[in-house]
Amino acid sequence: MTAAIEVRAVEKRFGNVGIIRDLNLSVAQGERHAIIGPNGAGKSTTFNLISGHIKPTSGEVRLNGDVISGLRPFEINRRGLSRSFQVTNVFARMSVWENVRCAVLWATGHRYAFWKNVDSLSEVRERTAQILDDIHLTHRRDVPAGLLTYAEQRELEIGITIAGGATVVMLDEPTAGMSHAETERAVSLIRRLTEGKTLVIVEHDMSVVFGLADRISVLVYGHIIASGTPEEIRRDPKVKEAYLGEEAH
Amino acid sequence: MNAKMTSTPTSKIVDTTVGDGLRFYGIWLAGIAVLIVLPLIFSSGGSLTSFSLIGIAIVFALSYNILLGQTGLLSFGHAVHYGLGGFAACHMMNAVVSHGWPIPLPFIPLFGGLGGLAFALVIGWVMTKRAGTVFSMISLGIAELVASSSLILRSVFGGESGISTDRTSLPKILGLSFGPQLQVYYLIAFWLVISAIAMYALTRTPLGRISNAVRDNPERVQFIGYDPHVVRYIAFCFAGFFAGVAGGLAAINFEIANAAYLGAIQSGLVLFSTFIGGVAFFFGPILGAILVTYLQLGLTSVTGVWQLYFGIIFIGIVMLSPGGIAGLIMMHRPLVRAGTLPTVIPSYLLAAVPTLALACGVILTIESIARTHSGQGSPINLFGVAFSPASPVTWASAAILVAGGFFVARLSWRRVGEAWDRATTIARDRGYLA
Ligand SMILES: Nc1ncnc2c1ncn2[C@@H]1O[C@H](COP(=O)(O)OP(=O)(O)O)[C@@H](O)[C@H]1O
Ligand SMILES: [Mg+2]
């Protein structure tokens, strides 16, 4: 079976600085894959490279076997890959409802339609309501997204990401800055919403990572030094030295 | 538990849409009724002319807000589409007359719209590649380009004198000649209603919603499947079309189209109207267009420096109420719902007195200076009191009004602020404010 995501020998340089060096990563269909690594290792940059936000200097990225490196973000999104952002990236002046609904529109086939009343599209309405219910924001549906609390904005960020029904979901530090209770709630939310999908997640909380992931890749200085099951990663001496050891301090 | 969680919000949604629906149609019907009866109440020729101009200005401002308020594109050259629509309409009218085509006058604004649209289709793809400053600068450049071409391409734009036409020579429909201004007014009102409904409906389509998303965050839009460039382009074309309709209406009204239609002043006026009215609400540009057109018509007859007052009003709105008049009005909605509006009204009335005094002082100052310098020295008529611009009494009154008005106004507006804080706190407690 072809991998959901296949990154082959990707390099990314900003000016003279090589941020991503010979990156190889394979995420199987339906797998929950966590990417861990110290701050500045290039995890978000990796997300940007896969989702088309930036283009690799060299190398190639495949989605379900098709080359997607070089495509634009919306083209990649239309092929079924959706990502969230580490820094909340929502539509601040629009209501929570509008935020999610906009993320539903393309996937339900309405595209740039200017001849349909958006309020009368029942599939769109039902899906939007369902997602608001899923992310526990139904009671905040009319509030402008910019006025939500931090934790609510993070949940909305997840809602927008999954709203289009993408089969490959990438979440960049979805629980960053959340309290312990909020994190727990967010993780069970993620677990439920990505059921049957491929998930790539960047996460710092090791208990979350080891509880959620089928496989883990460790990124250090723009290079994946180890990739394997949680057990393999736990035992890997390179990882212990480079990353987990550091965490233990 | 789960069933309860889903059923409660759904029933609430249904309730609000039914209530909102009734009020929604009520507002539109009331607007149409006003358009129908206005000329019956104010039937003088001057009023009819003013109403006609206001109607055209509303269509134009609404079309501009498709760009500014809906899609976040600040254009400095929107009059290009208005002007080209005007020229297209004039040429069409002349062609209809000379070829004897069976097209009556009421269809002409459609050709104006097509004129505005055609230019948007051609130029828009390049223009909307980027938003922000890049778009604004290109719009300015294109506007200059078209304005200067209009003086060079004489056969199309008629040079200095423009292209004139005769609206009464077109085939009659329902026995209407469209000679009398009243008939022209109703023609404009008809197109105003059609255009306003169409532009409102546009905001309720998938494209309209995504335009808002592109305005708020063009980067994120790309990650939900949309190309912001395409969204901006389509929005730009709609704006061009309705600006062209407005230009076509102007051509019918004046029976001429000339270079002034597509010039910088016209582009500035529509930006001004839309912004003053408020870009965040659909009805904002309507209020702005009414106010600005009314001021333009009214001020020019009482003062020689009406642009100065426009400038002051514009700066005042930008600084004190960036949401425009519509923003000011809608600020009060939570208070109305929470029933705390009456608690702030007295403080408003109290603040109105010194504010008015301040305004009178400013007007006296401006007019004294302007009239003494222009050497005409005609008396300033303020609420029936005549002030001589050269008299020290006038200067003293101006100084007292400005200084005293400013001082007392500051105090009284602070009181407004306090009353406002109390009212919003209650509204928030009652759950009408996020
Ligand atoms: N657009 C950019 N231009 C230059 N340097 C960048 C850019 N984006 C990221 N970087 C650099 O790349 C490195 C990796 O960043 P990032 O991918 O955000 O790390 P992580 O998400 O693992 O914390 C950092 O040193 C950052 O400064
Ligand atoms: Mg990061």
| pLDDT single digits (tens) B286-297 | 999 999 999 989
Domain of B355 in residue numbering reads as 342-429
| pLDDT single digits (tens) A43-73 | 999 999 999 999 999 999 999 999 999 999 9
CATH of the domain at B276: 1.10.3470
Question: What is the pLDDT confidence band of residue B303, given thresholds at 50, 70 and 90?
Answer: confident
- The answer on pLDDT for B8 being more than 60 is no
Query: Average pLDDT of B374-397?
Result: 83
| Average pLDDT taken over every residue of chain A | 94
Which helix (H) or strand (E) segment holds residue B15: the answer is helix B2-41
Query: CB–CB of A128/A136 below 8 Å?
Result: no
Do B310 and B355 fall within a single domain? no
Query: CB–CB of B289/B272 below 8 Å?
Result: no
| Interchain CB contact of B11 with A (< 8 Å) | no
- The answer on pLDDT for B12 being more than 50 is no
Q: Give the number of whichever ligand sits closest to the CA of residue A48.
A: 1
CA dist., res. B330 & res. A88, Å (int): 28
Q: Is residue B121 part of a domain?
A: yes
Residues in chain B with CB shorter than 8 Å from the CB of A143 are 434
Question: What is the pLDDT confidence band of residue B380, given thresholds at 50, 70 and 90?
Answer: confident
- The answer on pLDDT for B178 being more than 50 is yes
Residue among A89, A112, A144 whose CB faces B217 most closely? A89
- Which tokens belong to B22? 């009734």
Q: Are the Cβ atoms of B225 and A74 closer than 8 angstroms? A: yes
What's the confidence (pLDDT) of residue B13? Answer: 42
Do B267 and B393 fall within a single domain? no
Question: What distance in angstroms lies between residue A68's CA and the mean position of ligand 2's atoms?
Answer: 22
Residue among B17, B208, B227 whose CB faces A74 most closely? B227
Query: Average pLDDT of B174-179?
Result: 91
- Which tokens belong to B97? 């007359």
Do B304 and B388 fall within a single domain? no
Exposed, middle or buried: residue A205 (CB in 10 Å: 0-12, 13-18, 19+)?
A: middle
Picking from B69, B131, B206, the residue whose alpha carbon sits closest to that of residue A103 is: B206
Task: Tell me, using a 6 A CB cutoff, whether residue A51 lines ligand 1.
Answer: no
Residue nearest to atom 17 of ligand 1 (CA): A42
Query: Average pLDDT of B60-84?
Result: 98
Q: Is A40 helix (H, G, I), strand (E, B) or coil?
A: coil
Q: Give the number of whichever ligand sits closest to the CA of residue A38.
A: 1
Do B315 and B358 fall within a single domain? no
DSSP codes of every residue in A99-126 = HHHHHHHTTTT-TT-SSS-GGG-HHHHH
Cα Rg of chain B (Å, integer): 24
What's the confidence (pLDDT) of residue B11? Answer: 36
Cα Rg of chain A (Å, integer): 18
ipTM of the complex: 0.95
Question: In whole angstroms, how far apart are CA A96 and each of A62, A106, B284, B375, B432?
Answer: 33, 18, 23, 60, 17
Which helix (H) or strand (E) segment holds residue B406: the answer is helix B392-429
| Interchain CB contact of B434 with A (< 8 Å) | yes
Do B326 and B350 fall within a single domain? no
Residue among B201, B225, B280 whose CB faces A77 most closely? B225
Question: What distance in angstroms lies between residue A152's CA and the mean position of ligand 2's atoms?
Answer: 20
* Residue of higher predicted confidence among B432 and B36: B36
pTM metric for this prediction:
0.93
| Interchain CB contact of B428 with A (< 8 Å) | no
Question: What is the pLDDT confidence band of residue A245, given thresholds at 50, 70 and 90?
Answer: low
- The answer on pLDDT for B2 being more than 50 is no
What's the confidence (pLDDT) of residue A246? Answer: 53
Residue nearest to atom 18 of ligand 1 (CA): A44
| pLDDT single digits (tens) A102-119 | 999 999 999 999 999 999
CA dist., res. B409 & res. B384, Å (int): 24
| pLDDT single digits (tens) A124-158 | 999 999 999 999 999 999 999 999 999 999 999 99
Q: Which residues pair with A169 in a beta bridge?
A: A82, A199
Q: Which residues pair with A144 in a beta bridge?
A: A95
- Which tokens belong to B72? 């976040």
Q: Are the Cβ atoms of B224 and A143 closer than 8 angstroms? A: no
What's the confidence (pLDDT) of residue B160? Answer: 87
What's the confidence (pLDDT) of residue B253? Answer: 98
Q: Which residues pair with A216 in a beta bridge?
A: A34, A228
CA dist., res. B225 & res. B220, Å (int): 9
Do B160 and B279 fall within a single domain? yes
Q: Is residue B71 part of a domain?
A: yes
- Which tokens belong to A129? 């309501």
Q: Is residue B4 part of a domain?
A: no
| pLDDT single digits (tens) A210-244 | 999 999 999 999 999 999 999 999 999 988 887 65
Total number of domains constituting chain B? 2
Percent with pLDDT over 70 in chain B: 95
| Beta-carbon pairs below 8 A across chains A and B | 113
Residue type, B42: F
- The answer on pLDDT for A122 being more than 90 is yes
CA dist., res. B142 & res. B267, Å (int): 12
Between A173-182, B276-285, B295-304, B360-369, the lowest mean confidence (pLDDT) is in: B295-304
CA dist., res. B314 & res. B276, Å (int): 7
Do B226 and B346 fall within a single domain? no
Q: What are phi and psi of B336, to 5 degrees?
A: -60, -45
Q: Is residue B7 part of a domain?
A: no
Q: Are the Cβ atoms of A74 and B9 closer than 8 angstroms? A: no
| Interchain CB contact of B430 with A (< 8 Å) | no
Q: What is the DSSP letter of B241?
A: H
What's the confidence (pLDDT) of residue A240? Answer: 83
What's the confidence (pLDDT) of residue B17? Answer: 58
Residues in chain B with CB shorter than 8 Å from the CB of A123 are none
| Interchain CB contact of B231 with A (< 8 Å) | yes
End-to-end CA distance of chain B: 26
**Packing angle, helices B2-41 and B181-203, rounded to 10:** 170
Q: Are the Cβ atoms of B223 and A83 closer than 8 angstroms? A: yes
Q: Give, in degrees to the nearest 5, the angle at Cα A17 between A14 and A19.
A: 75
Do B360 and B279 fall within a single domain? no
Residue among A93, A141, A163 whose CB faces B216 most closely? A93
Residue of A nearest to B210 (CA): A102
Do B179 and B137 fall within a single domain? yes
Q: Give the number of whichever ligand sits closest to the CA of residue A176.
A: 2
- The last residue of one of the domains, among B331, B354, B380, is B331
- Which tokens belong to B384? 């029936």
Q: What are phi and psi of B99, to 5 degrees?
A: -95, -10
Q: What is the set of domains in chain A, with CATH numbers?
A: 5-244 (3.40.50.300)
Strands (E), A28-172: 32-36, 58-63, 66-67, 81-83, 168-172
| Average pLDDT taken over every residue of chain B | 91
Q: Is residue B201 part of a domain?
A: yes
Q: Are the Cβ atoms of A74 and B6 closer than 8 angstroms? A: no
DSSP codes of every residue in B247-275 = HHHHHHHHSEE-GGGGSHHHHHHHHHHHH
Question: What is the pLDDT confidence band of residue B370, given thresholds at 50, 70 and 90?
Answer: confident
Mutational test site, ligand 1, from A21, A23, A44, A173, max ligand atoms within 8 Å of CB: A44
Q: Is residue B395 part of a domain?
A: yes
Q: Is residue B12 part of a domain?
A: no
Do B287 and B420 fall within a single domain? no
Residues of B (172-201) whose Cβ lies below 8 Å from A: 201
At a CB cut-off of 8 Å and minimum separation 6, what does B217 contact?
Answer: A89, A90, A91, A92
| Torsion on CA atoms A15, A16, A20, A22, rounded to nearest 10 | 130
Q: Is residue B159 part of a domain?
A: yes
Determine the atom of ligand 1 nearest the C-alpha atom of A46.
17
Do B132 and B249 fall within a single domain? yes
| pLDDT single digits (tens) A6-44 | 999 999 999 999 999 999 999 999 999 999 999 999 999
Task: Tell me, using a 6 A CB cutoff, whether residue A55 lines ligand 1.
Answer: no
What's the confidence (pLDDT) of residue B434? Answer: 67
CA dist., res. B78 & res. B233, Å (int): 14
Residue of B nearest to A148 (CA): B434
- The answer on pLDDT for B375 being more than 80 is no
* Residue of higher predicted confidence among B152 and A78: A78
Q: What is the DSSP letter of A148?
A: S
* Residue of higher predicted confidence among B368 and A158: A158
- In Å, how far is B19's CA from the nearest CA of chain A? 15
| pLDDT single digits (tens) B104-151 | 999 999 999 999 999 999 999 999 999 999 999 999 999 999 999 998
CA dist., res. B140 & res. B77, Å (int): 5
Do B290 and B361 fall within a single domain? no
- The last residue of one of the domains, among B268, B303, B331, is B331
Between A187-196, B9-18, B73-82, B129-138, the lowest mean confidence (pLDDT) is in: B9-18
- Evaluated on CA atoms B17, B203, A162, A63, the torsion sign reads positive
Task: Tell me, using a 6 A CB cutoff, whether residue A74 lines ligand 1.
Answer: no
- The last residue of one of the domains, among B266, B297, B331, is B331
